[in-house]
Amino acid sequence: MCRVLMYQGAEVRLDDLLYQPDNSLIKQVYDAQLLKMLNLAGFGMLAWDGASHEPEMPFSYRSTSIPVFDRNLRDLAQKLRVSAAIAHVRGVPFHDRVTLGEQNLHPFLYKGARIALAHNGHLADFERMRFALLDHIKPAIAQQIRGNTDTEWLYALLLSQLDDPTSARCGEEIVDAVEKMLASIRHVRERYRIDTSSAANLFISDGTSAVAVRFAFDYGCYDMDKPDELRQADHEFLSLWYTTGSSYGLHDGEWKMISAPAATDGSILISSEPLTRDTSTWCEVPEYTAIIATGEGGRQQIRFRQIEA
Amino acid sequence: MQASTATAAAASAPPGVAPGQGGFDRFLLEVPLLAGLDAAGLAEVQRLLRPFDVQAGGVLFRQGDASDGLYLIKEGEIAIMRRVPGDETVQLAVLGRCATVGEMGLLDHGVRSASAVAVTASTGFFVSCERFEMMRADRRPPAFAVMDRFITQVAARTRKAIELAAAHLAPGCAATAAATAVSVAWTRCSSPATLDQRLLLALPFFGSLGSGELRELMGQVKRHDFARGDLVWPAGAAASHCLIVVRGALATYFSTPPRPQLFSVHGPGSFAGELPLLDGGPHPLIALAREPTIALSLDRERFEVLRKGGGELAFTLFAALGSAVAGNLRRADGHLARVMPQQQRGDVLLAPVKS
């Protein structure tokens, strides 16, 4: 069911985010602590480096290879220093109806758009409702859909809520667009009488503002006529955690955020589960809540907003 | 002097127990957690206790450790410290004589939510999770009385933690709503017999019941259906039922202006509204149906009958309630950890709480 991390703040080496902690994103491919599932369907990442050419455009890396064995990724991660990143390992059910391919890897960033999106979750009965979503997607954006994941359609819907997807947005505007996007999906679900639990944890960034959303449609709702098919995922809310500080790194033998005296929060890490087995410096994002981090003057303004969709 | 000491001891001894008798340390009579237990209950507790002592600066346990038991302080002071994002440390409380430390893990087997460090050299007693479980598995009436007392005290602490979290979320406002006579009529009520038992047994809590226990529970509850957005109870309302969610989700909120803020979400197999039934206070939080929800209600009268213990269902139910109460306490602590660093930088010393 995927694992995701998002970072924003002081420059860090990508290897320190992806590989070093004892519950790193790469380790979560095969040994996630809060998800009983392997995530073998590929890896995708967008990373922003302010010193690079056209800094508002991120580096992009995507591969259907299992990232544990990807030497190219490891070499790149050891060289790159980034101020923002979204990285995603894809988990899918193990059957032949699933399509593996680069077009289905997260995060999604369309040409010309400023914001990127990755998703942890699954929209129930998506195949039935997919094309009804076209009514809510601008044609120019719909033309860019290449894959068959529910996530890409969420992304297209999100961009369609913005007046101008090519210009920068503040965090609150992004959350406004998220609420409209979720409302559109709820409307289509109601039309098709889809009422079973569908997790939609979202990770959205443009390199300056980071928004993560912990949300589910019809949480706790399952098909009561099929008691033998009831799964743990039907009654657990997908996790979302964060940690903040003035900088991230190896301190006293631990990978963690620390706060320097008299300093303010300069960095934030948001992920599906904590990157360390010691979770004492991490907090959970409450359910049905967005966490918004905006970089201003070397610090992260962090706010929480309840999602009403 | 001896006469007045004997008189004082007689005044504080449980009924039927002469001073000097009972098979338990007289110190237990002072402990609020154990107030109301009779001699048999106190003797039951005594069997669980092992002495501990720690020097000033010594660590009883660290945040994130697996919970191994509860500490009962006899002498000295123990500081409760919590790490928060940014690797800052917040001192949540300083506890002294008769206070308990680390009780949550006994109820829900979770990890330590904070560290406990001795401010001064301290002594007292330790109750291991293992021994507590053995007492619980024993199913004897004194064991049930101890468990009930324990859960009730943790419920009271949970209420205080919720009030503290509310105060930090909305400084200057009333922490939680004052008691009110307003209640909400639940209109869609039916028999639980409409629910497939195979379905229930696949859910948390229900899955821990034997078939006989499930039948007994179904005979004592009613089914209620809530539409998304339905008000289940307002903050401050007197509690007449607790709910067990079967499908969907209930959410509880702080009554903070200008809009309520989410405290917790309760999905299938979860309890809601157990706190007021345990400690007798009003609902501290608003409850709404966050999703279309089916829940089973247990009314106060039947709750109190089960509370007196004696049957398998009572033990299983109260073990689950203990876990639910501990979960709410962890949730309140989590809100505090999330809110406090944003309001106060660096180490924060809250008003010390001494019991």
* pLDDT tens per residue, range B306-323: 887 668 888 889 889 999
B53, B201: one domain: no
The reply to whether B319 falls in a domain is yes
Per-residue tokens: A215: 């949300």
Is the same domain home to B99 and B191?
Answer: no
State yes or no: pLDDT of B17 exceeds 50.
Answer: no
Weakest-pLDDT range from A223-232, B55-64, B294-303? A223-232
**Whole-number Å distance between alpha carbons of A205 and A203:** 7
The shortest C-alpha distance from A222 to chain B (Å) reads 7
pTM of the predicted structure, to 2 decimals: 0.90
Q: Which residue has the higher pLDDT, B33 or A66?
A: A66
pLDDT confidence tier of residue A219, bands split at 50, 70 and 90: very high
State how far residue B83 is from chain A, nearest Cα, in angstroms: 6
On whether any CB of chain A is under 8 Å from the CB of B173, the answer is: no
CATH number, domain with residue B75: 2.60.120.10
pLDDT of A194 reads 95
- Is B346 close to A261, i.e. CB distance below 8 A? yes
**Where is pLDDT greater, at A128 or B2?**
A128
State mean pLDDT over B290-297.
96
Q: Residue B16's pLDDT band (boundaries 50, 70, 90)?
A: very low
The complex scores an ipTM of 0.90
Confidence of residue B298 (pLDDT cuts 50, 70, 90): very high
Average pLDDT value over all residues in chain B: 83
Render pLDDT for B136-176 as a digit per residue (tens, 0 to 9).
787 777 777 878 888 888 898 899 989 888 888 776 655 45
Alpha-carbon gap: B306 to the closest alpha carbon of chain A (Å) = 27
A283: which chain B residues are within 8 Å (Cβ-Cβ)? 84-85, 334, 337-338
* Residue B119, pLDDT above cutoff 60: yes
Query: What integer pLDDT is reported at residue B176 of this predicted model?
Result: 52
A222, A228, A243: residue with CB nearest B85: A243
Q: Determine contact, residues A261/A231, Cβ cutoff 8 Å.
A: no
User: Residue B198 above 80 pLDDT?
Assistant: yes
CB contact under 8 A, A220 and B249: yes
pLDDT digits (tens, 9 = 90+) for A255-307: 999 987 655 668 999 999 999 998 989 999 999 999 999 987 777 888 999 99
Q: Quick one: closest CA in B to A270, which residue? A: B85
| Same-domain status, B44 and B123 | yes
Residues B165 and B64 in one domain: no
Q: Indicate the burial class of A176 (C-beta count within 10 angstroms; 0-12, 13-18, 19 or more).
A: middle
Contact A306 B259 (CB under 8 A): yes
d(CA B291, CA A196): 11
B290 contact residues in A (CB cutoff 8 A): 219, 288
Name which of B45, B74, B32 is nearest B146 in CA terms.
B45
Q: Is residue B243's pLDDT more than 60?
A: yes
Give the distance from residue A143's alpha carbon to the nearest chain B alpha carbon, in angstroms: 34
Minimal Cα distance from A230: which residue of B? Answer: B202
User: Cα separation of A34 and A232, whole Å?
Assistant: 12
Q: Measured between CB atoms, does B204 come within 8 Å of chain A?
A: yes
Q: Which domain holds residue B25?
A: 21-138
Question: Does the residue B350 lie in any domain?
Answer: no
- pLDDT surpassing 60 at residue B214: yes
Q: What is the pLDDT of residue A309?
A: 80
Q: How far is B28 from chain A (nearest CA, A)?
A: 33
Query: Do B312 and B179 lie in a common domain?
Result: yes
pLDDT confidence of residue A264: 60
Q: Is the C-alpha dihedral spanning A279, B333, A244, A91 positive or negative? A: positive
pLDDT value of residue B294: 96
CB distance A224–B248 less than 8 Å? no
User: Are residues B265 and A287, on separate chains, in Cβ contact within 8 Å?
Assistant: yes
Answer whether B203 touches A (CB < 8 Å): yes
Tens-place pLDDT, residues B335-353: 877 776 655 433 333 322 2
Identify the pLDDT of residue A265: 63
Of A236, A244, A304, the CB nearest to B86: A244
- Kindly state whether residue B3 falls inside one of the protein's structural domains: no
Q: What is d(CA B72, CA B92) in angstroms, rounded to the nearest whole number?
A: 18
Q: Is residue B4 part of a domain?
A: no
- Domain closes at, from B78, B106, B138: B138
The answer to whether the CB atoms of B247 and A220 lie below 8 A apart is yes
The full DSSP string for chain A is --EEEEEEEEEEEHHHHHTSSTT-TTTHHHH-SS--S---S-EEEEEE-TTSSSTTSPEEEEESS-GGG-HHHHHHHHH-EEEEEEEEE----SSTTS--SGGGPSSB--TT-S-EEEEEE--TTHHHHGGGGGGGS-HHHHTT--S--HHHHHHHHHHHTSS-TTS---HHHHHHHHHHHHHHHHHHHHHTT--S-EEEEEEEE-SSEEEEEE-EETTT---TT-GGG--GGGTSPPP-EEEEESEEEEETTEEEEE--TT----EEEEESS-SSS--TT-EEPPTTEEEEEEEETTEEEEEEEE---
Report the half-sphere exposure of B180 (CA within 13 A, side-chain side). Answer: 15
Whether residue B227 is found in the same domain as residue B93: no
The predicted pLDDT at position B349 comes to 32
Q: Is B167 found in the same domain as B133?
A: no
Based on the domain organization, do B132 and B198 belong to the same domain?
A: no
Tally of domains in chain B: 2
Q: Is residue B337 within 8 angstroms of chain A, CB to CB?
A: yes
Q: Is the Cβ of B345 closer than 8 Å to some Cβ of chain A?
A: yes
Distance from CA of A81 to the nearest CA of B (A): 21
Contact flag B64-A278 (C-beta cutoff 8 Å): yes
Give B223 or B33, the one with higher predicted confidence. B223
**B63 lies within 8 A of chain A by CB:** yes
Kindly indicate the confidence band of residue B15, based on its pLDDT and cuts at 50, 70 and 90.
very low
Q: Is residue B152 part of a domain?
A: no
In a domain, B301, yes or no: yes
Q: How many residues are there in chain B?
A: 355
Looking at the structure, do residues B182 and B122 belong to the same domain, yes or no?
no
For residues B116 and B89, what is the distance between their CA atoms, to the nearest angstrom? 12
Contact B233, B240 (CB under 8 A): no
B272 has pLDDT over 80 = yes
The answer to whether B269 contacts chain A (CB < 8 Å) is: yes
Cα–Cα distance, B196 to B207 (Å, whole number): 13
Domains recognised in chain A with CATH numbers: 3-93+104-306 (3.60.20.10)
Q: What is the mean pLDDT of residues B292-305?
A: 93
A48 CB contacts (<8 Å, ≥6 apart)?
Answer: A55, A56, A58, A59, A82, A83, A84, A85, A207
**Which one of B108, B138, B168 terminates a domain?**
B138
User: Is pLDDT above 50 for A144?
Assistant: yes
pLDDT recorded at residue B54: 96
B199 has a chain A CB within 8 A of its CB: yes
Q: Is there a domain that residue B150 lies in?
A: no
What are the pLDDT digits (tens) for B65-108?
Answer: 999 999 999 999 999 998 888 888 888 889 999 998 988 888 88
Q: Is B312 found in the same domain as B177?
A: yes
**Residue B348 placed within a domain:** no
Does B309 lie in the same domain as B201? yes
- The model's confidence at residue B13, banded by pLDDT at 50, 70 and 90, is very low
Q: Are residues B303 and B333 in the same domain?
A: yes
For residue B66, give the chain A residue with the closest CA.
A278
